[in-house]
Chains A and B, each alone.
Chain A
Amino acid sequence: DAGVTQSPTHLIKTRGQQVTLRCSPKSGHDTVSWYQQALGQGPQFIFQYYEEEERQRGNFPDRFSGHQFPNYSSELNVNALLLGDSALYLCASSLFGGGLYEQYFGPGTRLTVT
């Protein structure tokens, strides 16, 4: 049973560019959350998707947007990249209504903005 998978593993972009990160949830899960983990910091909640809609959003600008597909996979898009967007982006999946402890994290995508 595959867990949460994310692609790509690493990514290097230039300031001002746009990036798309992808996440496939664990089998049986229908909810996807995205987190940003800057160096030396804990993960920060970006947003959560369920039934193809953004259900909740953290304190991130509109440059950060997402999408969830009918197969529950999800994309995170970041426009007009800033140097400060360099971070590890984590995807977490869960079953809506399940326990918080049942949220599984992927290995992350390391984004470097130069």
Chain B
Amino acid sequence: DQQVKQNSPSLSVQEGRISILNCDYTNSMFDYFLWYKKYPAEGPTFLISISSIKDKNEDGRFTVFLNKSAKHLSLHIVPSQPGDSAVYFCAANDSGANSGYALNFGKGTSLLVTP
């Protein structure tokens, strides 16, 4: 049962524009969310995270928004650059379940930023 869903397998955006990647989750016990970026032949790399006590976290060009009532989060990349082209994974954790570092991942969204 997929508890973290990324319903858009791919997204294409022009350089300089905003990229918006979406993620939905079903488990209301999730209280920490992360976005990872993955290039081919490399492992996922941490990008940005957000705790459930916040609704927004910003780091440079990357902003994550969390809507707990809708069980939805989104990653905004502004402005998008060709080097941002990669697969982006949304992941969630339930710290209360003594889950340690067990992350629940979505299937990923492949972002292509065109010049």
Contact = CB atoms under 8 A, between A and B. Distances in A.
A, B co-complexed:
yes
B4 A42 contact: yes
A45 B104 contact: yes
B34 interface: yes
A92 B105 CA distance: 14
Contacts of A104: 43, 46
A56 B100 contact: yes
A42 B101 contact: no
Nearest to B43: A105
A45 B103 contact: yes
B2 to A, nearest CB: 8
B72 to A, nearest CB: 17
Contact of A100 (B34, B41, B89, B106): B34
A58 interface: yes
B32 A43 contact: no
A94 to B, nearest CB: 6
A55 interface: yes
A96 to B, nearest CB: 8
A48 B46 contact: no
Interface in A71-91: 90
Nearest to B1: A59
B105 A44 contact: yes
Given A56-B98, A100-B93, A101-B34, A107 B43 contact: yes
B49 interface: yes
Contacts of A41: 107
A90 B98 contact: no
Contacts of B103: 35, 43, 45, 100, 103
Q: Which are the 7 A-B pairs with shortest beta-carbon distances?
A: A105-B43, A42-B105, A45-B102, A101-B49, A56-B100, A43-B105, A105-B44
Interface of B: 4, 6, 32, 34, 36, 41-46, 49, 89, 91, 93, 98-108
6 contacts: A35-B105, A40-B107, A45-B102, A50-B100, A90-B43, A105-B36
